[in-house]
Amino acid sequence: MVNKKQRAWQRMLSGRRLDLLDPSPLDVELSDIAHGLARVARWNGQTSGDYSFSVAQHSVLVLEIFKSQNKKSDENSKLYALLHDASEYVMGDIISPFKVAMGGNYKSLENTLLNAIHLRFSLPSTPSTKIKKSIKSADNQAAFFEAIHLAGFDKTEAAKLFGKPIVPSFDIDGFNNLIQPWPTQEAQRRFISAFNQLT
């Protein structure tokens, strides 16, 4: 009996065939990323509102927090912030406690895909430690606001898990617009718009 190699690729709507174990930057398309992230729910979908709070919207929120706290950052740094969860267009958004329980080489696969995404958009495969730290801070702050506004956490519990946030320097209407869940097509469009503004 012939031992066939298991399929390790996924066909994307763009027509690309992405090898999940050895992804090529040439098979990464912005349209696929935006489409996928707009349809992946944060918090395993356990959020309030008429729509899921998507990873695409979370990515835009992280970008806006990052920009408000790193006013002298260059466009590449901002692009890293927008793309910080881009691998989830293929892998989904697995909540942190479950990643810990799963163990294994999940993080390695995630980083390999993220490196390919960065290279596709003319970024060095990994950002500097300083940029990573700034993005992680913005990511944690976004998680804090999502937790208390959407996912049923109180401020004390959220602060223990994600740290006390620095209030972003955008107006309340701007903040409310970023934290109220967007319809899928709007999330997809606004992610692409944010990308285009940076490139």
pLDDT tens for 159-199 read 999 998 886 667 777 788 899 999 999 999 999 999 999 99
The pLDDT assigned to 3 comes to: 47
Selection from 74, 168, 56, 59 nearest residue 127 by Cα = 74
- The total of other beta-carbon atoms located within 10 Å of residue 56's CB is 32
The pLDDT assigned to 108 comes to: 85
Which residues, given as ranges, of the chain have pLDDT below 50? 1-3
The pLDDT assigned to 106 comes to: 76
The pLDDT assigned to 103 comes to: 67
CATH, domain range 26-198: 1.10.3210.10
Selection from 65, 40, 64, 35 nearest residue 51 by Cα = 40
Q: What is the residue extent of each domain of the chain?
A: 26-198
Quote the CA–CA distance of 142 and 64 in Å, as a whole number: 10
- The dihedrals phi and psi of 23, each to the nearest 5 degrees, come to -70, 135
The pLDDT assigned to 5 comes to: 65
Which string of DSSP letters, residue by residue, matches 45-104?
Answer: G---SSS--BHHHHHHHHHHHHHHH-TT--HHHHHHHHTTTTTHHHH----HHHHHHH-T
